[in-house]
Amino acid sequence: MLNHVKLIAQMQQVSDALFRDVSHEYSVARGAWDQIVNDPLFIYKVQSMKHQVPWQLPLWQGKLDLQIPVDQNPMPYQGISVDGSQIYPDRHQGTNCFLINIGSVILQYGMASGSYFDSVPYVFAGDTEADGLPISPDYVNCLRQAFEFQGGLDLIQQKMLPEDKERTFFLFDGSLIFWHLSGKQPELKQFFLTRYMDLLEQWYQTKVLFAGYISLPKSKELVNLVRAFLCNFDPDRSDAHMAVEHVVDAHIAQFFLTPGYRSIVFKSTSDICREYPEHLQPYFFYLHVGNEVARIEIPSWIAQSDDLVDTLARAIVDQCVKGRGYPVLIAEAHEQAVVKGPDRDFFYHMIMKLGIDQKRNTIFSQKVIKKRGIGI
């Protein structure tokens, strides 16, 4: 059990780190940002000197601090979102069984108003390897994301009328830049990168708009522009670029974005993005939804059209208004997907019951047995 007295003492010791005063860093970042946006030659410096710094510097066209208004007049559309959760394999439960639960939602506005909610469990058992890869939490996480994309495609194919696709968009909770594959074993990375690209290609073929929504983003691509400016593209001048160590892009975006406005579109230059086909390469923009600045990630084929970007931004702002600061679609999909404590208990109860029905013994570790009935 948690010792509250000792916890209070520990929390007081780290309170300075918990509530760090970064006002000076913000001031430095603001001053540097103002100089950057007023320097018409800065984009050429980035293009010619980006290889001199170890940070990912985005590419862009237009004025860096341009804020673009998002039309907030009502429009008819239907939104789709899919989310997933999992129960990892647990050797203490005496089985290699694991679960991925996919929650789906469709919400219609200004059309034939309606809604659709569903969740589908996928159970995997019996193996220590799948797809030629060892089953691990990393494998389960990667597989869950593939199921989320596939779940959205299935809804498009099964639930959408062809004439409705132009007024449909899919909102994914998280990044379309597959950071989680960086640093993974080559076999795991290549298998899932190939699978993700195949799914994104199928999305492209449907021509249904889709985007990744990131709440409270911690990305630093705009901050990296500030860092490069402060050290004049010399990373050895750590005293200069470390002056904005705790600033993130959302802080930079708040320098020039007000509620109901979006930034221009930037192209990500992260290493993993080089492995995407050209028309699927990730772009991003920042959107002030009222309560926060969110990061919206989109594929290249959408980013190349201002009309498509504006349509997506309009629908996302509407979702955040309806959700009081957070997209209703994503929140509802999460509720359909989440596996709570009683669900987990039921899952393991069913494993035990099936073992009894088939007259097979399920061998639990002593750790699990001890947790279920602590004796003194």
Question: Can you tell me the distance from the alpha carbon of 321 to that of 264, in angstroms, rounded to the nearest whole number?
Answer: 22
Widest Cα–Cα separation across the chain: 76
pTM (predicted TM-score): 0.90
Predicted local distance difference test score (pLDDT) of residue 374: 47
pLDDT tens profile 13-66: 888 878 888 899 999 999 999 999 999 999 999 999 989 999 999 999 999 999
Report pLDDT digits (tens) over 279-288: 999 999 999 9
Burial tier of 226 (Cβ tally within 10 Å: 0-12, 13-18, 19+): buried
Q: What phi and psi, each to the nearest 5 degrees, are found at residue 284?
A: -150, 160
Q: What is the pLDDT of residue 366?
A: 46
What letter would DSSP give residue 234? -
**Cα–Cα distance for residue pair 86/19, rounded to 1 Å:** 33
Segments of the chain with pLDDT less than 50: 366, 369-370, 374-375
Q: Please give the structure tokens belonging to residue 222.
A: 């705009």
Distances (CA, A) of 323 to 147, 263, 289, 318, 355: 25, 22, 11, 8, 44
- The pLDDT of residue 92 is 59
Say what the pLDDT of residue 89 is. Answer: 86
pLDDT reported for residue 114: 80
Cα gap 362→328, rounded to integer Å: 42
